[in-house]
Chain A
Amino acid sequence: MKDQNLYNYVLQHADSSLILGQRLAEWCGHGPILEQDIAMSNISLDLIGQCRMWYQYAAEIQDEGKSEDEIVAFRDAWDYRNVQLVEQPNGDFAQTIFRQFLFDTYSVHFYEMLINSKDERLAAIAGKSHKEALYHVKWSGDWVIRLGDGTEESHDRMKAAIDELWSYSGELTKPNETETKAFEEGYGVNLAALKEKRDAKIREILTEATLEVPESTYTHEGGKDGRHTEHLGYILSDLQFLQRAYPGQEW
């Protein structure tokens, strides 16, 4: 392995994109209306496309001759490094929207800042992904406003979604050792600066949506170091089945 920290950093982002992409794909054919079904499938595809760029890089750093597919299919839950937010169930449409919004407000700023990474490959992945993240955050932000400032029922459902997911929001901007080191070495993003931008965006949208920003700063954490909620195992059993039953398949 050329650089263990860089590998972990890359894997963290690959895994979060993959798991959220997989979660969103569960909506395919079940969306509330056709246009939004298509929107979620589109965003899912973007995320899965993005995670492939990350995994391909991870495979090169690892340098053990493993393919991107092997990295995805033959690791168990404790080796996955995605944030806990993305493995949370879809719930109703409001919950899916709010999960997406919490992720998008992070990823749009993350990619925007990662474009300046001294690692050229990370900068290239960021340049490509940032454009897509801009669409995503516009979509999820618009829906937060529409549901929050909508009917009594849609407002209540958004409120319930916030109550359910808020405690998973903070992990995204709370650096673990890998991220601290990545920032110090000049290829990672400064999460303190990112947090400021993201908090401002969340506040702006929730206010417009007539929803309150929760005061609690408590956050679940540990996903980035391999500690997960019970949901991840079920996702992986779906996601990895084909490759484990018939090894050697390609994307």
Chain B
Amino acid sequence: MSEERTNTNQLINQSTIYQILENVTDPEIPVISVTDLGIVRDVLITDDFVEVIITPTYSGCPAMLEIEKDIHNALKKEGIDHFKITTVLSPAWTTEWMTEEGKQKLKAYGIAPPNPTNPEDIECPQCGSKNTQLLSEFGSTACKSLFKCNDCLEPFDYFKCH
């Protein structure tokens, strides 16, 4: 058994770890993965030891603990036993690290993705109208604020620029 594990471990490289992480999703927004969010800052491999470096989104985000557990379980499930997950604070996470793919997934899910180029110009994820209005700076989770579309009249979440 242990020999088998050593064999598997010899095949470990960064891309296999990233593939595993691509399937670990945010517990609050299950369509988007930790790699889409830009939480995973680096994967370091020395011999058969893996270090996954992550950074918190918001300092009080309760999902961070879950995310760490989920990464732990996903790695274990793929037979990776020698690893640690390190949290770094600096540089501070920014929504600029979110991938284009991640933004598209958010939109399809009904959450307007962060728009750093023009934070006033928020597009309704339901009907695409730009005639929208801020209802509250703070939303259902730390990362979101609440908007309303003045055309289709639907309320929606906006993933804040951070």
How many chain A residues sit at the interface, stated as a range, is 20 to 34
Say which one of B27-35, B85-93, B117-125 lies at the interface with A: B85-93
Count CB-based A-B contacts (< 8 Å). 66
Min CB distance B155 to A, Å, is: 11
Q: Which residues of A contact B (CB under 8 A)?
A: 35-36, 38-39, 42-50, 52-53, 120, 123-125, 127-132, 135, 138-139
| A24 → chain B closest CB, angstroms | 11
Min CB distance, A35 to chain B, in Å?
Answer: 4
Is B135 in the interface zone, CB < 8 Å from A? yes
B62 at the binding interface (Cβ < 8 Å): yes
Residues of chain A contacted by B91 (CB below 8 angstroms)? 127
Q: Mark B133-161, 1 if CB is under 8 A from A, else 0.
A: 00111111010001000000000000000
Contacts of B59 in A (CB 8 A): 46, 49-50, 52-53, 128-129, 132
Distance from A153 Cβ to chain B, minimum over Cβ atoms (Å): 23
Does B44 lie at the interface of the complex (its beta carbon under 8 Å from any beta carbon of A)?
no
Q: Give complex CA distance A42, B135 in Å.
A: 15
A138 & B137 in contact (Cβ 8 Å cutoff): yes
**Could you give 7 example pairs across A and B, Cβ below 8 Å?**
A35-B136, A45-B58, A45-B60, A46-B58, A49-B56, A53-B59, A127-B92
Residues of B within 8 Å of A123, CB to CB, are 90
- Closest Cβ–Cβ distance, residue A168 to chain B (whole Å): 24
Map CB proximity to A onto B66-98 as digits: 1 under 8 Å, 0 otherwise. Answer: 000000000000000000000011111100000
Is A35 in contact with B138, judged by CB distance below 8 angstroms?
Answer: yes
CA distance A127 to B61 in the complex (A): 16
| A131 and B135 contact, CB distance less than 8 A | no
A127 CA to B89 CA, complexed, in Å: 8
Contact size range, B = 20 to 34
B135 engages A128 (CB within 8 Å): no
* 15 extra interface residue pairs, beta carbon distance < 8 Å, beyond A36-B136, A39-B138, A49-B60: A42-B142, A45-B60, A46-B58, A47-B60, A50-B60, A52-B60, A53-B59, A120-B90, A124-B89, A124-B90, A125-B89, A127-B92, A129-B59, A138-B137, A139-B137
Q: Are A131 and B60 in contact (CB under 8 A)?
A: no
Q: Which residues of B contact A131 (CB under 8 A)?
A: 92, 162
Interface core residue of B60, B62, B142 (most chain A CB under 10 Å) = B60
In the complex, A138 Cα to B142 Cα: how many Å?
15
Assuming the contacts A131-B162, A132-B59, asked whether A39 and B89 have C-beta atoms less than 8 A apart, the reply is: no
